[in-house]
Amino acid sequence: MNNSIKNWKPGSWINFKAKQQPSYPDKERLDEALLRLSRLPPLVSSWEIESLKSHLSIAQKGEAFILQGGDCAETFSECNSENIVQKLKILLQMSLVLSSGLKKPVIRIGRLAGQYAKPRSSDEETIDGVSLPSYRGDLINRIGFTKQDRVPDPELLIKAYNTSAMTLNFVRSLIDGGFADLHHPENWDLSLFNKSPMAKQYQNLVDSVSNSMNFFESITGNALSTQRADIYTSHEGLHLPYEQAQTRFLEHRNSWYNLTTHFPWIGMRTADLDGAHVEYYRGISNPMGIKIGTGCSDDHLISLVEKLNPANEMGRMVLITRFGASEIDDHLPRVIKAMEKIKANILWICDPMHGNTESTKEGYKTRRFDNVVSEIKSAFSIHKKLGSYLGGVHLELTGENVTECIGGASGLTELDLSKAYKTQVDPRLNYEQAMEVAILIADHIKKN
Ligand code: PEP
Ligand code: CO
């Protein structure tokens, strides 16, 4: 990808239809905020982005696995030490379980430090007969149900950038300070649910990794450093003016990069071939995801991939499939075959969350743990059967003890949902459920 991409500029998307964009009442304030954003230093560097790309191309060959996870929507108010620590902890602990089961390195990508914009199925939300514009994420408007709260505010763009920077700063300092080091047992224990039978299985694993490490250290006399555990960031690159403001041309690479995140993805609702999002993404050099649902035809997918990755570069194109447990058998084989037909270099990731959302009688949006696990297992077996490779999972999860998804070892039921239902948008796996998914994947791979 380079400077000569035909008829492309960071702002050329403006000539195409942009779905899911807010309408700002004060255009001048918007332009002023975007100008400020464009002058601020980038959140990530092209070195990190290229390093992720090379990890993704290794995963594409079946030699590594991607764990992408985090909140459906991050919020400014939840940007605090405890939440960030818990998120990091769950990603690290899951990756330890996965890499021991899969016998492969696991690359961690957070839905983190920028996941502030949400596509909505309806432009309006109605409560007790009152209709207001929908909440579109903290990047755009506010969750409160007043007219004032729902007006898109350009100042939130700057606040989102600042909050992303604070999150990333803390993540980097934790990692650099040795948070992921197995010599720090406090970061590896499962204090939240140490009575569960799963905790014993997990503890045995941590002990065995730690024993092998101690053994190695005692015979070599050298301390083994397990300090570095990279965490990459990702978010849905939905709000095009925001993404554009941090899109820079880097002379030394002769390429354009979106420097708000390592790995932006195109959501299912904005992947139109002639839409503004695809136009924007075709010009940046970041690796990128596309969410693929049941409505995506083979022809559409082929055209998308040819447009977004014309050079068939390794490590660039990630297809995140989200069909649902009951539909995956009908759709995943056809899309794998479509990509084989054009010999596209694809990294396949399974998102077992977004095709499995349902609502309870009381109106809670939830997901059944069994459906989540079933979609993942189906994805593994379909890929295997077709000679392709499932290179990762994409999960909505939190390190907190919330009650948003039903099922799992502790048997959460519909009646439990009201106890700690905190998400602003989609239901997340809680700490215990997320660990259980990792353990079940590891077990499944060992047995198959
Ligand atoms: C999401 O990832 O939160 C999301 C909205 O996904 P999708 O575009 O797959 O519906
Ligand atoms: Co979601």
Q: Is the CB of 268 under 6 A from ligand 1?
A: yes
For the chain, the structural domain boundaries read 3-447
Q: What is the mean pLDDT of residues 135-140?
A: 98
Specify the residue for token string 């995801």: 289
CA of 267 to the centre of ligand 1 (A): 6
Q: Where residue 186 falls among pLDDT bands split at 50, 70, 90?
A: low
Predicted TM-score of the model (pTM): 0.95
CA of 293 to the centre of ligand 2 (A): 13
CA of 320 to the centre of ligand 2 (A): 13
Of 265, 56, 53, 262, the residue nearest 172 (C-alpha): 262
CA of 77 to the centre of ligand 1 (A): 22
The CA-based angle 168-346-436, given to 5 degrees, is: 55
CA torsion sign for 137, 143, 147, 153 is negative
User: Which residue's CA is minimally distant from atom 10 of ligand 1?
Assistant: 268
| pLDDT of 321 higher than 50 | yes
> What contacts 162, CB < 8 A, 6 or more positions away?
none
pLDDT tens-place string over residues 430-441? 999 999 999 999
The reported pLDDT for the residue numbered 4 is: 63
User: Which residue's CA is minimally distant from atom 3 of ligand 1?
Assistant: 72
- Rounded Cα–Cα distance for residues 18 and 376 (Å): 32
- Rounded Cα–Cα distance for residues 184 and 79 (Å): 24
- Phi, psi angle pair for 106, to nearest 5°: -115, 125
Average pLDDT over the chain, rounded to an integer: 93
Task: Note the Cα 349 to chain centre separation in Å.
Answer: 11
pLDDT tens-place string over residues 256-303? 999 999 999 999 999 999 999 999 999 999 999 999 999 999 999 999
**Amino acid symbol at 9:** K
Atom of ligand 1 nearest to the CA of 322: 9
Q: Is the CB of 11 under 6 A from ligand 1?
A: no
Of all ligands present, the nearest one to the C-alpha of 429 is 2
The reported pLDDT for the residue numbered 194 is: 63
Specify the residue for token string 């050329």: 12
The CATH architecture to which 3-447 belongs is: Alpha-Beta Barrel (3.20)
Q: What is the mean pLDDT of residues 1-28?
A: 90
**Token code pair at residue 21:** 């964009």
